[in-house]
Structure 1
Amino acid sequence: MMRFLLAAIVLCLATFNSQASANECKKIIASAHPNYPPYHWREGNEIVGASVDLNRLVFQEIGVEFAAVYSGPWKRVLATAESNMIDFVMSLKRTSEREAFLRFTDYPAFPNPFTAFTLVENSFDLERWSDLKALKGSKNAGDRYGQPLDSYVLEILKLPDNDSLEDNVNRLMLDRLDYIIHGRYVGQAHFGIIEGGEKIVPLEKDIIGGFIHSGFSLGSSCAVHLEYLNRRYLELFGDGTAERLLEVNIERWVAFNHRQKAGEENTRRQN
């Protein structure tokens, strides 16, 4: 009897502590990479994009205010999370190193597949990685896809690891490349703002799938909402909401850059 009584007391205390933690979380301060459209990017002192739209939607459902702030370059964003200066980091790759200071969602926030981009008139069918062997390809400096594709790209396709996106685009436009490996959604955002970018299209099939998660800082009282966030991520991923937000924010990113360029042009003319 005493054992059951003690178990009931422990359960009540756990429930009380959980409710208390939830009550402490009135506002979530979030951040992300400042230049990773359409997932997220910087506009002034704020972070905007699909990641913000998705998480704000979820946390509004439970009455928690959600603010996405610019915290500096990507390394600084991670440092502020490690120091518990922010509550939440949006849409990033889950790694063992980051798990040391972030409590990640079990389910992904968004898909993040990689594919080959090519000129629309040079588009080709891709069924397997070996279809790329006879073609001239490139990748962007520092991009990693996970094993075994990393090894295949470097050892079989022998793609260099020091080419910038700008150099790759120039060579693609001059028919010196057949394809560029890039993130499907990030590539559409990047190519959507360059001159002639409308001629660069992704292949129908991805080279490799991928996903990105989100994580609470270990010291954040708002981590009490992790279970709810997990459930909603699964639902919003499954019903297509996450992918629709990516498509909407590709258009938003392109419009944002066109406004910036127009403003810069007006300033130049006035001067």
Structure 2
Amino acid sequence: MRRSVLGLLALLASTALQAATSVRYCDYPVYPPVSWSDGKQPRGLAPTVVRELFGRLGYRVEMVVLGNWQRCLLDAAEGRVDVVLAYTSAQREQTLRFSKVPVLREEVAVFANRQHPLAFNRLEDLARYRGGLLFGESYGPAFDQFVAQHQNIEWVSSSGQNFGKLIRGRIDFVIQERRTGQLFVEHLPGAGDIVALPPALSVDYLRVAVSRRSPLSAHMAEIDAQLQQMADAGELERWLQESEVTYRDMVRQP
């Protein structure tokens, strides 16, 4: 009897999860190989994971592309979109529910210009310098507190703006995921002196984040179960590698 009841509950949960026809996913595609735009639509690991994850759960995914990352977070908080991929923070957890299973381990690095060297071994070393971040970015409570205290960050909408300032010496450092930053500057004109400094600023995990105002927020267990299957099958790592290859091929095209 107990087994029958559990089976019925599982069936009802699956049916309810598939009742909705679409999921609105917000992307700000400026983070290769996680997410970038080919001029028509987002490409990369993040949109691939979202399409596969929710497709297997019975949804059609609607991509929403906005002008900066802060807009995506705000729309998710207000329930205008259902899903983003993001790092956890105490502030974000007030409006978003995060998957327990991560999509990607990310090492956050400090990028600097060898023509204007800076000394960096720990976060406080950056207090004497001027840095750049994208609107809406957060790299953990300690970093957010540091930024609020020192007010030494210039906020912009694109990595191109950030690294352009770093190349021209208008700022001293850029905070960026190491993988994304290195991939971005590989083919950026004038970026031959831009390097990622060896010490990691932090290590974080990119996760599926569902708006607490979305009906999806009641189904985090199913989302985590599907993510775990994808991780165990090696699909997440394979999609990451394929995204790196695709991005490099795209930027090499004349």
TM-score range, shorter chain: 0.5 to 0.7
Partner in structure 2 of residue 51 of structure 1: 46
Offset at residue 187 of structure 1 (A): 1.0
Residues 106 and 205 in structure 2, CA contact (< 8 A), matched pair in contact too: yes
Offset at residue 25 of structure 1 (A): 4.1
Alignment of 1:103-252 (within 5 A): 103-118=97-112, 128-129=121-122, 133=125, 138-141=130-133, 144-149=138-143, 160-162=152-154, 165=162, 166-171=164-169, 180-197=174-191, 199-218=193-212, 220-223=214-217, 226-234=220-228, 242=236, 245-252=239-246
Partner in structure 2 of residue 24 of structure 1: 19
- Runs of at least 5 residues in structure 1 that lack an aligned partner in the other structure: 263-271
Offset at residue 184 of structure 1 (A): 0.8
**Aligned-residue CA RMSD in angstroms?**
4.4
Out of 112-121 and 97-106, give the one that drifted further: 112-121
Offset at residue 63 of structure 1 (A): 5.8
Deviations 1:113-148 (A, max 9, x none): 21233568999998x528x959x9653146643243
- Runs of at least 5 residues in structure 2 that lack an aligned partner in the other structure: 156-160
Residues 36 and 44 in structure 2, CA contact (< 8 A), matched pair in contact too: yes
Q: TM-score, normalised by structure 2?
A: 0.68
* Separation of aligned partners in 2, 1:83 and 1:146: 22
* Separation of aligned partners in 2, 1:111 and 1:119: 26
Residues 18 and 58 in structure 2, CA contact (< 8 A), matched pair in contact too: no
Deviations 1:33-81 (A, max 9, x none): 2433332234456322211122333345x36355351342344434543
* Separation of aligned partners in 2, 1:180 and 1:80: 26
* Separation of aligned partners in 2, 1:225 and 1:17: 12
Provide the secondary structure at the position in 2 that maps to 1:140: strand
Q: Counting strand residues as a fraction of each chain, which structure ranks higher?
A: 2
* Separation of aligned partners in 1, 2:234 and 2:119: 25
Q: Counting helix residues as a fraction of each chain, which structure ranks higher?
A: 1
1:102 aligns with 2:96: yes
What is the aligned residue count?
245
1:87 aligns with 2:76: no
Higher radius of gyration, 1 or 2: 1
Partner in structure 2 of residue 268 of structure 1: none
Offset at residue 236 of structure 1 (A): 5.2
Aligned partner letter, 1:230: D
